[in-house]
């Protein structure tokens, strides 16, 4: 009901009385404040990152970090190495003089420091493309190989390019005292690829397998023996007859060891002594021995091209599943140990 009306002069007092009555209407006296507005939108509670199986280790993780590959010395002068126990994958490759060198792959976790960091080899450039465009940390490379590094699908975070992320420390003399800081190295690697499927499959052990206590992989001038530890549920490394220990404590080793036989030939590069650099051919097919859970399995490996991952199958053609955890891939010649 509208309370205001135009009134003629004779009824001004009546109109005033009506105005007072309207101002004291029961509706106005008993009116309640409007109810609080309810926001129909859901609360802004952060959604936790779901856990997934990491493609390099098979472990449940919410980490989805970029890939960092680091070249690490593997001679007696460099031991004990630092940071290898945090690696997802440890590749062991033959180098000059029949010795070996390591390329460690990090993604799911990063150690504070890693090393000693040493120079790159041509076989690295053939292995790395299966990781997309990873960050690659190293110190030094043969001059004739530099154009090949520049063209490779990787992000160069070497000491050659910048000292950022590197320091000299520890008990050894140069060149065995250079260490990398992974977080600082990855800060230089804008656009580095994140971890993705490279062919590894994880799960319960397949049928078959031969129980073994140890297995030895040989190079012309070095050997690595992997001994099963039932208590630790992993394979412990002994190199050249001496237990391989980590600088941060404990033994080096992995839950799965792949001894991959790949044709090793002479590359076009050589060191300052004239020793030719071996080229390990990791594209193609071949045989492998996979160690997991105290057993050795005969397997085959396949990698159609450098941009593809490497798959492993059992003798019956089923996927060769790995045990969740750190994986070592030991690349040896597909025949007798040879110095090309």
Judge whether 15 lies within some domain: no
Band of the pLDDT at 48, cuts 50, 70, 90? low
pLDDT digits (tens, 9 = 90+) for 92-111: 999 999 999 999 999 999 99
DSSP string, 181-250: -HHHHHHT-TTPPBP---S--BSSPPS--EE-SEEEEEETTEEEEEEEETTTTEEEEEETTEE-BBTTSS
Domain that holds residue 133: 52-332
Judge whether 28 lies within some domain: no
CB 322 within 8 A of CB 293: no
Check the CA dihedral 85-72-327-261 and report its sign: negative
pLDDT of residue 274: 81
Question: Is pLDDT above 70 for 43?
Answer: no
Phi then psi for residue 299, to 5 deg, are -145, 170
pTM of the model: 0.85
Pairing of β 284-292 and β 234-239: unpaired
Band of the pLDDT at 14, cuts 50, 70, 90? very low
Question: Is pLDDT above 80 for 33?
Answer: no
The Cα-based distances of 63 to 84, 100, 311 in angstroms read: 19, 31, 23
Question: Is pLDDT above 60 for 38?
Answer: no
Average per-residue pLDDT for the chain: 88
Q: Which residues pair with 41 in a beta bridge?
A: none
Whichever domain contains 301, its CATH number is 3.50.90.10
pLDDT digits (tens, 9 = 90+) for 117-137: 999 999 999 999 999 999 999
Judge whether 185 lies within some domain: yes
Judge whether 91 lies within some domain: yes
12-34 as b/e, with b when 16 or more CB fall inside 10 Å?
eeeeeeeeeeeeeeeeeeeeeee
Whole-number Å distance between alpha carbons of 314 and 210 = 13
CB-side neighbour CA atoms (13 Å) of 327? 26
Name residue, tokens 């590749």: 91
Looking at 6-15, 228-237, 310-319, which range is the least confident one?
A: 6-15
Whole-number Å distance between alpha carbons of 60 and 258 = 21
Segment 12-39 shows an average pLDDT of 39
Judge whether 65 lies within some domain: yes
Q: Which residues pair with 296 in a beta bridge?
A: 210, 291
Alpha-helical runs (H) found in 42-135: 122-127
Whole-number Å distance between alpha carbons of 65 and 126 = 22
pLDDT of residue 46: 56
pLDDT of residue 96: 95
Judge whether 105 lies within some domain: yes
Task: Provide the domain count of the chain.
Answer: 1
- H/E segment holding residue 261: strand 256-261
Question: Is pLDDT above 90 for 208?
Answer: yes
């Amino acid at each position: 009901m509208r309370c205001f009306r135009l009134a003629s002069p004779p009824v001004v007092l009546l109109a005033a009385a009506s105005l007072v009555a309207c101002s004291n209407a029961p509706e106005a006296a008993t009116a309640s404040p409007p109810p609080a507005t309810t926001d129909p939108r859901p609360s802004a509670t952060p959604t936790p990152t779901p856990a997934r199986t990491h493609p390099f280790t098979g472990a449940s993780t919410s980490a989805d970090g970029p890939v960092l590959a680091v070249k690490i010395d593997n001679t007696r002068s460099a031991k004990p190495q630092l940071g290898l126990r945090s690696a997802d994958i440890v590749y062991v490759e033959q180098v000059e003089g029949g010795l070996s060198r390591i390329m460690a792959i990090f993604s799911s976790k990063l150690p504070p420091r890693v090393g000693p960091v040493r120079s790159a080899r041509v076989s690295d450039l053939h292995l790395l493309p299966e990781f997309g465009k990873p960050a690659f940390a190293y110190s030094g490379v043969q001059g004739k190989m530099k154009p090949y590094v520049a063209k490779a699908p990787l992000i160069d975070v070497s000491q050659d390019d910048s000292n950022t992320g590197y320091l000299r420390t520890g008990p050894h003399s140069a060149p065995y005292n250079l260490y990398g800081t992974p977080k600082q190295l990855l800060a230089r690697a804008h656009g580095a690829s994140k971890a993705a499927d490279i062919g590894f499959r994880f799960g319960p052990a397949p049928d078959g397998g031969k129980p073994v206590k140890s297995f030895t992989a040989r190079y012309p001038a070095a050997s690595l023996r992997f001994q099963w530890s039932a208590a630790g549920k992993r394979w412990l490394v002994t190199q050249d007859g001496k237990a391989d220990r980590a600088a941060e404590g404990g033994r080096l080793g992995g839950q799965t060891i792949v001894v991959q036989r790949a044709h090793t030939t002479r590359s076009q590069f050589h060191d300052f002594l004239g020793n030719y650099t071996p080229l390990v051919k990791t594209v193609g097919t071949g045989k492998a021995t996979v160690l997991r859970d105290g057993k050795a399995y005969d397997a085959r490996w396949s990698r159609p091209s450098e941009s593809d991952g490497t798959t492993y199958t059992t003798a019956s053609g089923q996927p060769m599943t790995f045990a969740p955890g750190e994986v070592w891939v030991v690349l040896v010649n597909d025949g007798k140990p040879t110095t090309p």
